[in-house]
Each structure stands twice: as structure tokens, then as C-alpha cells.
Amino acid sequence: MATYKAPVRDMEFVLNEVINVDSLTKIEKFEDATSDIVSGVLEEAAKQIDGTIGVLNESGDDEGARLNDGEVTTPTGFKEAYAAYAESGWIGLDKDIEFDGQGLPYALATAVTDMLSGANAAFSLYPGLSNGAYEALKAHGTQEQKDMYMSHLSLGDWSGTMCLTEPGAGSDLGQVRTKAAPQDDGSYLIEGSKIFITAGEHDLTDNILHLVLARTPGAPEGIRGISMFIAPKFMVNDDGSLGERNSIVCPSIEEKMGIHGSCTCVLNFNNAKGYLVGELNKGIQNMFVMMNAARLMVGLQGLGVAERATQNAITYAKERKQGRPLTRKAESSFDSDTIIVHPDVRRMLLTMKALTEGCRMMAYDTAKHVDLSESHVDADVRAASKARVDLMTPVCKAYITDVGTEVTGLGVLVYGGHGYIKENGMEQNLRDSKIFCIYEGTNGIQSLDLVGRKLSMNGGQLPKDFFADVLEEIESTASELDFIAGPLKSALSELSKVTDWVIESKQNNLNDAAAVAVDYLQMFGLVTVGYYWLRASKVAVANEGRFYQGKMATAKFFATKLLPRVYGIAPVIMAGSDCVMDPEEDLIV
């Protein structure tokens, strides 16, 4: 059976020593977020998550969500664990005080989401989508809508969903056919079906707030004619109490490869009452607030499941005896060592550690920039941090979730045959991880966003500013860290050259950029993780103890064995799209 223990020490290292989250205390609203408070929050969250939610991971997978007459029941124990989680204030950790949140940094909430995802990825989706609904209402809701809904989302007694996808409208939301007819009282009647709705129906909260994309009569075609509406499961009376049930029906739930404890369902809106959020025909722009929050959350799910796989693989490798190292002769046929002595097993374990811990630094630092972009007093700082978040959102979503599948796959391999069978829990990690590469925009779409939009925004300034920060970090490095500074500088130079090629290729052949986008994001992610391992190495070399020695060893492994992957990716990118697009369709059989 696989287990999970929140990696509090590593989280503290990243927050307090690598990204210096304590610097946020200079912002008035975060003045209480000192390193002591950060450590205290992490310790308390870990106790509850490890003790009440993590223990439900495998049983939730076995039992799954169940549908009976339109009502969904979550796995045994989920309802009680969710109530305890919400009552302890974890859902509202970073929400505004005026809406019953605690007003702490998003960076700290990110760490809690990391451990929640590692403990139980399926469970994490129930509070996870509420965060996006909160942010969408905060950005685009009327004051009346904020007052009516946002405190409930902070407290967790109500939850939220994103209702985008339809049978004929997946990644191409311009194909949305759901209709919203205006009524005399200012409401709309919504008619249509949505599919793949995460946490669309469940028994954990008193109400569910559905944010729905739909078209009004006479709206322009394509994405320019889509609006966003809020349609609650139960109508809300003027005094805030719950009224009659809305005309929203769950006819079926999906039987999935993984995350069985999370309800993914079809929702039919049968002239359901809804209310416009933001301006008419601005639904896509409004929904992007929610989608970007969700994309960062999904990256954390990939991180969490990678951490879970890594922990169990290391434990197993230190206990499982099999074979002997090539450097030692056997004393008998039964003479064997733990498998961690084997070079290939160590290669897998160190790959898992280097990628997982590197991605944690990238995710937490991006979250810190979210805090700066929203709350710093200096407009220039806000703008610069917003640009960094824009650049890093597709990287955090796609690269970290790809790491999740790579690391969970390695976890199965470390166990060998015992990893492939169900009782040890490693195959669940791999099954759960794959959806993170798919929902909230596939990783291919994230790559297209990076190449097609983010590289060109602000005249191409986003990557230039980031590369300048990486180079500054390299050039301020002492010679004792040349083992990583040197390779990183070379890798950055290669990435810069490839970036110029991609930007130029877009002017001549759009297929080139589209065909190599995934490879480019992988290269970008590798260099970015290298940048954070350099920052971690600067902290580690200045401190003593086994923890810091372990960080140095992992950094050396990354610099030597993983960062050189960029040199294999670069020529693949600059080969362009001819070999992809030249074959006629009937040759692809």
C-alpha cells in the first residue's frame, strides 16, 4: 500500500530559503505571513491532510463516486474529511478577509494544495475548482454576486464548477451551442448539455455554483459571442437561504482511467436559471481568470502525485532486497542487497527527486509572483510579476504534469512487477497522473499558448526578461557552483537561440511553430528547473547538515544527467514541420 507524508521540510526550504516568501510581509495585507507563520501553517495542514484525507486515497479509488437518480455520493469518508478540511479554514487560506478568508499569500495556499494533491488527488478537485469560481467572481462579478456567493466559496460550504465542454465543443470553445435566453427579471434561462464537468454533482456541500459558457440570441459566431453565467444548483433567496432546486440534472458520470473518487459528470441545463457574470459576449475573457487559476492548480496535482510516487519508490528501494552490485561478489545464492545499491535504480530515484523538487520551486515562485502581481504597491512590480505569471502559467501546467507522468512511471519501474499490481498503489499514481496532462487545456494547447502567444506578448519581452533574470543569477554565482552554473549558462544560450528561431519561423510558416511547440515547452521547462536548482544550490552550499548535502547531490545529478536533454531537443525543434506535414493523410495509417 502506498503512503504519503507531506514533505514539510522541503516546502519550508522552498518557501523560506529559495523564494523568500517572507519578503511578502512588506505588503500590508501579508504582514503576518512571517516564516514562523508559514512553518506553523504547513505543520498544521500536514497533520490534518495526512491523517484524514491521505488515508482515503486508495479506498476512494476502489469505491469511486456513485450516481443514483441524479444524486452523486462521494466515496466513504470523503464527506466527513471535506467538512473537517473546510471547517479548519484551509479552503479560505488565501481568500479575502472581507469574504471570510484568512488573507494569507497564494504562495502559502499553493503549498497546501501541493500536499492535498499528493495525499489524495481525486479529493483535491472538490475544493480546487471552487478557487477558480472565486477568482472569476472577484474579477467580473457584480457587488451583489460577490456578497451572495464569495464568502460561501471561501468557507467551503458551497463549491464551484467550470461548465465549458460540450459533446461538439472541446478545445474549440467557439463551437459552444448552449443557449441563454434573457428574461424580464434580468435572469437568463440556460438550455444545453455540458460534459466532463469536474465535481459537477456531489454530496459534500450545501450548494454548487456552476459557471457556464453559453450564447445569447443574436450573439456573434465563434468565441466572440460567448457569455458567462452563474447557475446555482439551488436558487438563493434574498435573505441568503437556499430555495428551490434549479433545473440542472446529472444524467450520468464518467467511468475514468483514474481519479475515481472525483465525480466527472454530464450536466443538462433544462431552462435552468442563471445570471450574467461580466459583460455580454466577454465570456471567454472572463473565464480565462478561472482557467488560469485552474491551470496552476493542475500543475500542483502533477507535482503532488510525483511527490507521492517518489516517496514510496525511495522507501521501497531501501527495503527491497534483490541482486548484488557489480562491485561485490556474492557469498551465497541467497546473498542480496537492497536495490538502492544498483546504479539504474539510483538513476531513477534521483531523476524523480530532481524533477519533483525542481518543479516545486518553479510552482511556488510562480505563485509568489501571483501575490506580487495582485498586491504590491508599486505598479511596475505588479506589471512585471503579471508578465512572469503569464509566461509561466502554461509551463507550470504542462511541464509539471508531464513530469508527473514521467515520475509516476518511474515509480512503477522501481517496484518492478510489484509496481504493476494494484495492491502496492503505484499503478494508481500513474493512472491518476495522465488526466493532468489533458484537462484545463491539453499540454499541447499549453505549448501552443507559450509559443503562439506568450513568446510574442509585449514585443517578445516576456522571455527576454526571464532569460535576463536567469543570466543574472548565473553571473552572480561563486566558482564553487560551476558544476551547475556553467551547464545552465550553455543551456540558456541554446534556449535563447532556439527561441529566436521559433519566433522567426512563425513569420514564415505557422506549421513550424505548431509542430515543435511541445518540444519547445519541454526545453523551456528544463532550463527553468535548472535555474531553480542553481538558486537552491546557493542556499545549500551556505548551510551545513544532511538535508543541504542532499540538495547539493540532487542539483549535481540534475546538472549532469537531466539538463543536457536540451541538446537533444534543440535540433528536433529547428527541424521544423516538413516531416510532420508533408505526408499525405492517407499515408498515415
Grouped pLDDT means (10 residues each) for the chain, 589 residues: 95 97 96 94 97 97 96 98 97 97 97 98 95 94 97 98 89 88 97 96 98 96 94 96 97 97 97 97 88 91 98 97 81 81 97 98 98 96 97 98 98 97 96 96 95 93 97 96 98 97 90 95 98 98 97 98 98 95 91
pLDDT of residue 333: 65
pLDDT of residue 589: 86
Q: Residue 583 and residue 57: Cα distance in Å, rounded?
A: 46
pLDDT of residue 172: 79
Pairing label, strands 188-198, 207-214? unpaired
C-alpha cell at 21: 516568501
Burial string for 88-118 (b: 16+ CB within 10 Å, else e) reads bbbbbbbbbeebbbbbbbbbbbbbbbbbbbb
Q: Residue 331 and residue 329: Cα distance in Å, rounded?
A: 6
Q: Residue 346 and residue 333: Cα distance in Å, rounded?
A: 24
- Are 219 and 227 contacting, i.e. CB atoms less than 8 angstroms apart? yes
pLDDT of residue 292: 85
Q: Enter the pTM of the model.
A: 0.96
Give me the phi and psi of 544, to 5 degrees please.
-115, 160
Q: Identify the DSSP state of 204.
A: S
pLDDT of residue 157: 98
C-alpha cell at 398: 504542462
Provide the annotated active-site residues.
Answer: 440
- Are 216 and 304 contacting, i.e. CB atoms less than 8 angstroms apart? no
